[in-house]
Structure 1
């Protein structure tokens, strides 16, 4: 069986969803602001660690999140409906006020960072908290990843191909985050305020469509069972 097509379909579902909610380009601008007093080597180290940590968070959520919830008796269709609604609601908020979302991220991260005159090792220790959680891959990203994990088998995709495609999407997002954060000072100059707003709204619109699609994948089987019964 050729698994390339199903795996590619999973990748094409997961990549834009995760890219939209993580939004590494917008995150890089904030990363540049809150780590601006650190030296370039320290910031490069932080970018690498955040990228690796983000990959771990997304992969664990994709692979294990839906199984953990299923353990508590939550069906996949219910999880798709709830998760899709959360994703769509989050996207709607981002679409209407992306500046509020980014400002909240910045405040969460900045409030937990050490003072700029502290030891570089102390600054580097902040790579997981708060720069990975909740700044880069916070509750919204985890919710999206868990919801994407419920799509296994929804379209007849073999499990191996599904998880390969989704995992590749998560790793790709983590790599983009690493590169974006490492080049944060340059991106800030290139994008500017207008570019950040445009990117945020475009990402939010894509994420809204994905949230609605996931809701439909849970609602259609439920309606079918109700009508058949």
Structure 2
């Protein structure tokens, strides 16, 4: 019965891809920088708000992305190829140290939990595209929505834990360990991006051959 609405493979793939893209460990130094003047209670509230904003944005695109594509006349293979290219750029940023810039807390004039923490730091283009592609890769829309929604929920539980206990994690792991893990995440994401582009090209060729 569960198999008719939930796909464990799709869940695992979507969870891994979205989690690697959002990189909660890599976001810890930026989160600590933007909330450096907040009290413990305020920082806890910021972690919760940033997680909820990211969750809402990604879930909205995961659910309504199919209709957006249909309205714009974009095929799933085209989204896979373009999404793979976008994810590859994100992976290169993780591998080349381009994401380690710490924003100046003095420059933050809006609620940091909403912008830039919730979006685009966590709910960026890469995570949004990955969620949309994951849903569209399912043979049944209901299975896609349920499996990917579960993956998004699980991902944001991890994100909330990372941000909620960011100070302790940063102190325990240290800057060097976080940087090493970020590079590993970047390598995994690069492999996922290449596989996504390859699948998109094969699907596009099958479409042409079948036409």
Q: Same fold (TM over 0.5)?
A: yes
**Counterparts of residues 150-189 of structure 1 (less than 5 Å):** 150-153=136-139, 158-189=140-171
1:113 and 2:108 matched: yes
Aligned residues: 211
Aligned-pair CA distance for 1:28: 1.7
CA distance in 1, matches of 2:106, 2:149: 32
Secondary structure class of the residue paired with 1:101: coil
CA 1:131–1:93: 2 relative to 1, 3 Å: closer
Q: 2:98 aligns with which of 97, 100, 104?
A: 100
- Say which is worse superposed, 8-17 or 201-210, in terms of deviation: 201-210
Q: Is residue 112–residue 130 contact of structure 1 (8 Å, CA) maintained in 2?
A: no
CA distance 1:87–1:182, shift in 2 (3 Å): same
**Where does 1:1-229 land on structure 2 (aligned, <5 Å)?**
1-3=1-3, 7-95=7-95, 97=96, 99-103=97-101, 106-107=102-103, 110=105, 112-114=107-109, 125-153=111-139, 158-227=140-209
> What is the deviation of 1:90?
2.1
State the alpha-carbon separation in 2 of the partners of residues 177 and 48 from structure 1: 9
Give how far 1:18 is off.
0.7
Report the Cα offset of residue 214 of structure 1.
1.9
SS of equivalent to 2:98 = helix
Q: Following the alignment from structure 1 to structure 2, what is the Cα–Cα distance between the partners of residues 3 and 204? A: 32
Unmatched segments (≥5 aa) in structure 2: none
TM value normalised by structure 1: 0.82
Preserved contact between residue 44 and residue 182 of structure 1 (Cα < 8 Å): yes
Give per-residue Cα distances to partners, 1:139-191, cap 9 Å, x unaligned.
Answer: 332233233333232xxxx3322221111111111111111111111111112
Kept in 1: contact 2:35–2:112 (CA 8 A):
no
Q: Label 1:60 to 1:228 Cα distance change in 2 as closer, same or farther (>3 A).
A: closer
For 1:114-133, what per-residue CA distance to the aligned partner results, in whole angstroms no more than 9, with x for missing partners?
Answer: 4xxxxxxxx7x432122211
In structure 1, distance between residues paired with 2:168 and 2:2? 42
Structure 1, residues 70-102: CA drift from partner, whole Å, max 9, x if none?
Answer: 21111111111111221123213322x1x3213
Counterpart CA distance in 1 for 2:191 and 2:143 is 23
Structure 1 segments of 4+ aligned residues over 3 angstroms from their partners:
109-112, 225-229
RMSD: 2.2
Asked whether the 8 Å contact 1:19–1:203 carries over to 2, the reply is: no
Shift in CA distance, 9/111, structure 1 to aligned 2, threshold 3 Å = farther
Contact 1:84 1:147 in 2 (8 A): no
